[in-house]
Amino acid sequence: MATERLDKILAHHGFGTRKYVKKVCHEGLVFINGKMVTDPGAHVDISSDKLTIDGEEIKLQHDLYIMMNKCKDVVCANKDGEHRTVFDLIDEGLRHKFLGGDLHCMGRLDIDTEGLLILTTDGQLTHRLLAPKTHVPKTYAVGLRDSLTQEQKNEYVEIFKKGFWVDREQNESGFDCKPSELVWISDENKKQAENSSGKADCLLTIYEGKYHQVKRMFAQMKNEVVYLKRVKMGALSLDPKIKLGEYRELTEHEIEILSQES
């Protein structure tokens, strides 16, 4: 049974300071399972208790998990003086501090990259999934500047499968790219990239997260990425029903899928 103090819960659910919460309790406006509670230090079972404030039921949750279909031209940052951020796309009612902590991005996508982005308050899960030793696979739908012959496509697949050296980019060092999986889009796998608006030529799965990695990998092949969308993280796929710039909370099953990756 996971319990938390009433004043802590209300403070983290946007009801002001603990001093204000104490006042609300003393005014007889707080009920747990239909029973008035005047003690702000009372313990609440987050998983089963029903909490109401002045007749309004409060949704109790320790952590928040969001799946977003990130659009271009927004950045994965809390604040940015030049661009909109992914947090600007989220309803203000979800931006308060939860019991688990502050809402943050589980990894980042570049400003011109679309697709699957997880935002959560669960710092422990984020740490486990992003740890270098975890090697959670991430799949991207990629559109390329140059069209290729079948022979060239086969060559790309073999090179990516073995891993190869990627040159430095500005202040970022070069690195030995780990083996990855490159699949050219055909009628058989088109569904996996169906929400890429027909802009993707291939699906690339990588097992690390270097700076601008996908773009730099294809640049090493003398080609250029002109469209990039993350469609999968581990076993969790982007819900094709989520439109660009929109989001929804993860289901319990999806949270379990992510947790199993770590």
CB 68 within 8 A of CB 249: no
User: Scanning the structure block, which residue is given the tokens 């969308």?
Assistant: 229
CA R_g for the chain? 23
Counting Cα atoms < 13 Å in the Cβ hemisphere of 220 gives: 20
Closest CA to 4 of 67, 64, 47, 54: 47
Asked if 206 and 212 touch (Cβ cutoff 8 Å), the reply is no
Angle at 171 between CA 114 and CA 213, to 5 degrees: 35
Give the H or E element holding residue 45: strand 43-45
| Interstrand relation of 65-70 and 84-85 (parallel, antiparallel or unpaired) | unpaired
Q: Could you say which of 45, 63, 80, 110 is catalytic?
A: 110
> Are 63 and 121 within 8 A, CB to CB?
yes
Burial class of residue 117, CB neighbours in 10 A (0-12, 13-18, 19+): buried
Quote the tokens at residue 258: 């992510």
- In angstroms, how far is the first alpha carbon of the chain from the final one? 24
Answer yes or no: 110 catalytic: yes
Just list the catalytic residues. Answer: 110
